[in-house]
Amino acid sequence: MERPASVVKELLENSLDAGATDLRVEAEAGGRRLIRIADDGCGMLRDDALLAFERHATSKLRDVKDLLSIATLGFRGEALPSIASVSRLLLETRSPEETTGTRIEIAGGRMLRCEEAALGGGTAITVRDLFYNVPARRKFLRTEQTELAHIASLVTHYSLAHPAKTFLLASGATQLLNVTPVATLKERVYQVFGSQLLDELVEIGVREKTLAGPAAPEAASGPGEADEPANRTFRLSGFFSRPQVQKANRNSVFVFVNGRLIRDRLMLHALSSAYYNLIPHSSYPFALLFLECDAEEVDVNVHPSKTEVRFRHGPFVHDFVRDTIRERLIESRPAPTFTPGVRPFSAGAQPAARLPYSEFSQALANEEPAGRGDGAAEESRADAVPVPEPAPADGVESAPEFSLRPPAAPAPRLDFTGTPLEVAPGPPPSGKLRRHLDAHGEFPADALPPPEMSLSVLSELRPLGQIHESFIVAAGRDGLWIVDQHVAHERVLFEQVMKQRAAGRVEMQCLLMPLIVQLTPEQQIDYARIADELHASGFETEPFGQRTVAVKSAPAAIGAANVERILFEILETVEGEPAGTSLEDLRRAICASIACRAAIKINTRLDAGKMEWLLRALAATDCPMSCPHGRPIAMHYSTREILKAFHRI
């Protein structure tokens, strides 16, 4: 039992396993002194309640076979005994089958009291003085605020996994989370985070994919199992953020596999790959992913705190998750709006949603599985796709300040909310004055385009001009657009070059004179490694003496003057990359370099025809929302926002 949040996790999971629909958590003083979880689940019979504190005495699994397909969140029968051994614990429970309930008190693992009590249905467990008898462990508790933040993050995320249930989290007199049952995940996301975050998310819907091919050999090998093949359909649902939401660490990524909150590198990697070339390398999205599959497809018994899983068909799951998210991202072609995408959560968000997620998720990630070196854990990596080490997350050690105040909203990147011509901005006038002002003309309500705009409207835009000879300003049916000309062109070229490369038809130009490029010893090694791919991408090179190469031709898109720079840039990108870097990643990196160098620069005057061409070409790309390095391309100021700013609606 690592820390208060782990206690809450175990107790919450027990309540969920018991079928509770109403879960109330109280965590006082950072959970150090008191954690109480009350549920309306099935409760326990007196004898079972006693048994629950015997290690491994209870089991939700009926036979050994069940171990291969664990459907409950808990299964080891360890949590209650270990919590009871390091705290003062009070259990109050009543099963509907009994008229009186049971109250059991344990301190440091010793039973102090077991008596009948008049209790309502369900179970309440109160844990006090965690680690009071293990001073060495107590010292390692973080600050109370930090511990509370972990707990809040945890309860929040279980609440997201169960929209139909009530969750209440209180700390003293403060309610950190209070959500009542709703029908959909979307409503729950709204309850927890408010409307602003919801606006920045794309809903996956339910996407599924069935693993084709013969049943895995293990599945068919057991006697009597051959005739009951597992259902190998994987289902993915949830939400992920549009590319303009860019987080500095992975802490806003939440993954549930069959209802279990986990940190899984395979899933994290799949998510990052989906955003490849859409957000910067060092950024992470917000994501709430629910993967459902047959229990046999996932081994949950590989980590002591059950936070990691091992997929039987890891590569399949990885590609399914990556491709689904990527497809949805491309389908939704989301346009960033001027509402600053950097504000983490809107005013409507619950206090718990504003807590730093970092600490808890970090804690999960840092909990080293005891058996990391053992065969099972190793194997789980081996059968997965190569997954790079997770990047160090921000603020791992610095404990976040827990504050109930919403964080100050950072300044919007482009602020149109100020209305410079208005002398005294105030609330919109009402009554007679309003009618008078309305003589300015009612805006026909049906002229308003639907609020959900996609970037496909780019092709209909009318360019009005440039700002700083760098940004195209354009008017459309749905408002005003500003497009970064360099990154827009970069996206167009990138997709064009990628397509040519995929078809093996890269346009090349012969250089008048071969370009002689001098390499360092490291570059020489990198060069040798990627020479074939370079060639296929349009760089015809050949070794020319010691650490020197001669470039004879280059991709047609780039000017001869840029060839050397691009070559070095590509070598820099692959420098130090593990030898196993996928060919696909290398190809993308090369195409991104070519596109970046060849694209129209900022500070370049464009005539109307060029601007129009660029907007049309951008609209025709697969991902018009961000450049291959992940920067946003177009900003949208909707008619609705313009009308709001002028008090017309």
Which positions lie near ligand ADP, rule CB under 6 A? 10, 14-15, 18, 39, 41-44, 52, 58, 60, 74-80, 123
Which partner from the list Mg ion, ligand ADP, none does 541 bind, CB cut-off 5 to 8 Å by kind?
none
- Return the biggest CA–CA distance within the chain: 95
Minimal distance in Å, beta carbon 80 to ligand ADP? 3
> What are the tokens at 37?
């979880």
Q: How far apart are the first and last CA of the chain?
A: 55
Residue 331, classified by CB atoms within 10 Å of its CB into exposed (0-12), middle (13-18) or buried (19+), is exposed
Cα angle value 408/413/416 (rounded, 5°): 100
State the minimum distance, in angstroms, from the CB of residue 376 to ligand ADP: 19
Task: Report, in Å, the least distance between residue 102 CB and ligand ADP.
Answer: 11
Residue 26 contact among ligand ADP, Mg ion, none, beta carbon within 5 to 8 Å by kind: none
Q: Which of 116, 166, 139 is nearest to 15 (CA)?
A: 166
Distance in Å, CB of 167 to ligand ADP, minimum: 14
- For residues 237 and 185, is the Cβ–Cβ distance under 8 A? yes
Q: Is 124 in the site for Mg ion (CB under 5 A)?
A: no
| CA neighbor of 123 nearest in space, from 24, 34, 238 | 24
Nearer to Mg ion, 79 or 89 (CB): 79
Give whichever of 44 and 563 is closer to ligand ADP, judged by the CB atom.
Answer: 44
Q: Does 107 bind Mg ion (CB under 5 A)?
A: no
Residues 607 to 626 in contact with Mg ion, rule: CB under 5 A: none
- The residue count for binding Mg ion (CB under 5 A) is 3
Nearest-approach distance from CB 85 to ligand ADP, in angstroms: 11
Closest CA relative to residue 255, chosen from 287, 300, 283, 284: 287
Shortest distance, position 60 Cβ to Mg ion, whole Å = 8
d(CA 476, CA 286): 30
User: Minimum CB separation from ligand ADP for residue 290, in Å?
Assistant: 21
Of 154 and 634, which has the nearer Cβ to Mg ion?
154
15 contacts which partner out of ligand ADP, Mg ion, none, CB within 5 to 8 A by kind?
A: ligand ADP
Short-list 204, 453, 186, CA closest to 334: 453
Q: For 544, phi and psi rounded to 5 degrees?
A: -140, 80
- State the amino acid at position 605 in one-letter form: R
**Binding partner selected for residue 635 from ligand ADP, Mg ion, none, CB under the kind-specific 5 to 8 Å limit:** none
Residue 123 touches which of ligand ADP, Mg ion, none (CB < 5 to 8 A by kind)? ligand ADP
Q: Please tell me the distance from the alpha carbon of residue 639 to that of residue 539, in angstroms, as a whole number.
A: 47
Residue whose CB is less far from ligand ADP, 31 or 624: 31
Least CB distance from residue 36 to Mg ion, whole Å?
17
CB 288 within 8 A of CB 238: yes
What is the phi/psi pair of residue 247, to 5°?
-100, 150
Q: Which of 14, 123, 307, 626 binds Mg ion (CB under 5 A)?
A: 14
Is the CB of 74 or the CB of 238 nearer to Mg ion?
74
CA-CA distance, 200 to 245, in Å (whole number)? 7
- Specify the residue, 77 or 476, whose C-beta has the smaller distance to ligand ADP: 77
Classify 34 in phi/psi space as left (phi over 0), alpha (psi -120 to 50) or beta: beta
Task: State which residue, 31 or 74, has the beta carbon closest to Mg ion.
Answer: 74
Q: Of 52 and 617, which CB lies nearer to ligand ADP in the complex structure?
A: 52
Binding partner of residue 76 among ligand ADP, Mg ion, none, CB cut-off 5 to 8 Å per kind: ligand ADP
Contacts for 463 with CB less than 8 Å, ≥ 6 apart: 472, 473, 474, 608, 611, 612, 615
Distance, CA of 218 to CA of 637 (rounded, Å): 56
* Distance separating alpha carbons of residues 206 and 238, to the nearest angstrom: 8
- The torsion region of residue 230 among left (phi > 0), alpha (psi -120 to 50) and beta comes to beta
Q: Give yes or no for a contact between 622 and 330, defined as CB atoms under 8 angstroms apart.
A: yes
Q: Give me the residue label for tokens 């290398």.
A: 586
Q: Which residue minimizes CB distance to ligand ADP?
A: 74
Strand ranges for 223-362 from DSSP E = 233-241, 253-257, 260-262, 287-292, 298-299, 310-311
Interaction mask 551-590, Mg ion, x per CB under 5 A: ----------------------------------------
Which of the listed partners (ligand ADP, Mg ion, none) does 463 bind, with a CB threshold of 5 to 8 Å by partner kind? none
Closest contact distance (angstroms) between CB of 74 and ligand ADP is 2
Q: Applying CB under 5 A, does 538 fall inside the site for Mg ion?
A: no
d(CA 481, CA 459): 12
- Nearer to Mg ion (CB atom), residue 79 or residue 179: 79
Residues in region 70-99 near Mg ion by CB under 5 A? 74, 79
Nearest Cα residue to 618 out of 382, 456, 403, 438: 456
- The Cα 37–Cα 615 span in angstroms is 56
Q: How near is the Cβ of 49 to ligand ADP at its closest, in Å?
A: 8
Q: What is the DSSP letter of 458?
A: G
Which is nearer to Mg ion, 151 or 236 (by Cβ)?
A: 151
Token couple for 42: 């099935």
Beta bridge partners of 168: 24, 178
C-beta of 31 vs 555, nearer to Mg ion: 31
Find the shortest distance in angstroms from Cβ 119 to Mg ion. Answer: 21
Report the C-alpha gap between 544 and 529 in whole angstroms.
16
Nearer to ligand ADP, 106 or 289 (CB): 106
Residue 20 or 270: the one with the smaller Cβ distance to Mg ion is 20
Q: Which of Mg ion, ligand ADP, none sits in contact with 80, Cβ below 5 to 8 A by type?
A: ligand ADP
78 binds, among Mg ion, ligand ADP, none (CB under 5 to 8 A by kind): ligand ADP
Query: Residue 77 binds which one of ligand ADP, Mg ion, none, with CB within 5 to 8 A depending on kind?
Result: ligand ADP
Choosing among Mg ion, ligand ADP, none, which partner's interface includes residue 261 (Cβ < 5 to 8 Å by kind)? none
Q: Pick the closer one to ligand ADP by CB: 20 or 201.
A: 20
- Show Cβ contacts of residue 14 under 8 Å, excluding neighbours closer than 6 positions: 73, 74, 79, 80, 123
Q: Which is nearer to ligand ADP, 60 or 529 (CB)?
A: 60
We find the least distance from the C-beta atom of residue 309 to ligand ADP, in angstroms, to be: 16
**Smallest gap, in angstroms, from Cβ of residue 169 to ligand ADP?**
16
Strands 260-262 and 287-292: unpaired
DSSP state of 422: -
> Least distance in Å: CB of 89 to ligand ADP?
11
In whole angstroms, the minimum distance from the beta carbon of 82 to ligand ADP comes to 8
Give the residues lining the site for Mg ion (CB under 5 A): 14, 74, 79
